[in-house]
Structure 1
């Protein structure tokens, strides 16, 4: 029986651990926080993505489409709340129609059930939406990813699950990998790094020179007071020239409506507020050449995102493009999230999941959205690599 050490207790790390345990491995999971899924998993929009945005044939496309089905099935099997409610991607002007049609073609290439509908048909789904046409995506859902983590932890009963156990040092000794923690040294035959926002640092700690570095982007959200304005999920047509999707509206399982996120550079890897600042993290970002190349390329977009972060009025105006009835007074500040975005030295953002290996080691170095949707598929893929 092999022993495997998994670093990171978010949904990907727990899914990897559960998959390896189901194959007969003895698993130890090390999580530095006091609870499972404390960072990206616990601060995302809880959407089960359909897989329509991603380049056909990419890991994101294949794993998101498969993950949509496997995650919904897992939730239903284990009593985790889930609702496959579908969503609308809306073109709000004529000049967005070519991008909407291109998205429909990509959905078809990826095997995602989606159909183009008229503005009048869109009103049947969302009476308050403003658009000239829309793409209806039936397989998108909402879920409790915290509930998925709880279910995975239950499946790992009998294995060694350790909270408040950060990895302090890593070395390979003969046929084993050793991880030093505050509670002592943990040994395993294989190491799997699923540390999310800290994944590149864990890779460096293990002796790997990762091809990309993590640059944290904070996504800020509001909640909508007048929840009756939104029935399900309303998304904008993405602009392929911009790095992120844009603000959207998502009805949650409890009936609340989440609005956002925008995207601003976080001043701490786990910095959910402007006042959360880490000198080490700021210096790391400033020293990385890719940061400045990205900043030059998207200077105008970056300024717009910061201004929207600081102005509830601007945030409301962005949402009103989709739902004109939204007003500034409707918005209440909600929790933010931080996206662990891998960046290359040339300033380009890593577009696909990035997984790199070394002897007795596998490192998940880029797993932003749709990683939660794809967690069970990522886990199967990693299990095949160990």
Structure 2
């Protein structure tokens, strides 16, 4: 199917495929999961390719490419074996928030370092009693000595540790106003005194580490406020649409990777010399998934193109996020089914695909919430 990509974009896709073929096939998923580590050698190579700087303007050392190009990078890396979502995507998305909401000094300090791969970023928003409803978070920041002291607890913070890392933290700075009006964003280095990290053992998303973060009188200066005090809600949410479109590109790439692996397993187990009944059933399902992948690609590319024209709608985001995440989850199920007993072993990729796709319909906006948001755009009350 022709997706209307330019010659430059097609060349970029080929470049990513060559990179993955050269560097991603040797990744040891089990080792990275056990250690909660990133593939550091590959991260350095990504930085050397200047891909960390893809969405950022040239004045900060970036390439100034559009959102569709960013989506193509995220999609094709996930498809080619780079552990999705990966440090690259997490850093890019939070760096874009700095680009949109940061001060001139923050941009000049952080963005060139991100583009060179010298700084990474993560985000800490979710709390034990504040998941999808982030307006109810209780981590507090109080003024002190030309800065702020942060106290509280965060959950499910991917890649929060590291000497080069900056955490974008949402904290409540005014408890006297309505829930969403008293929030502020802070840029907190992971090395700041008073921070404590506990690595969580989760079903998935263990590569790079998934952490519980405790803030015990963590002081940051005023210049570490991202955006305006008490206006963190706006700073967070106004970038959600573009971020979800980019995240959907990752779901798409991961789905394509699972699909290709499932085809390989099916050929090995149900080839022409195998059980014809089982083979027919599996081939029929694969044909359906192939069609759905094309539909997911159309929805995702369209959303990214709209973002490039600053016309991205909530409906378009909800469509690609819900469709893409649910497709990835169903492919994770099917891959495990086709693999049979082998897929139940912890040294198989099938079990990893299954585990990694459990969270996709929850993280970044659950399918239920996305459907409710889409329904509201239709005028439903």
TM-score of the aligned structures, taking structure 1 as reference length = 0.25
In terms of fraction of residues, the more helix-rich structure is 2
Q: Which has the higher contact order (CA 8 A, sep 6+)?
A: 1
In terms of fraction of residues, the more strand-rich structure is 1
TM-score of the aligned structures, taking structure 2 as reference length = 0.26
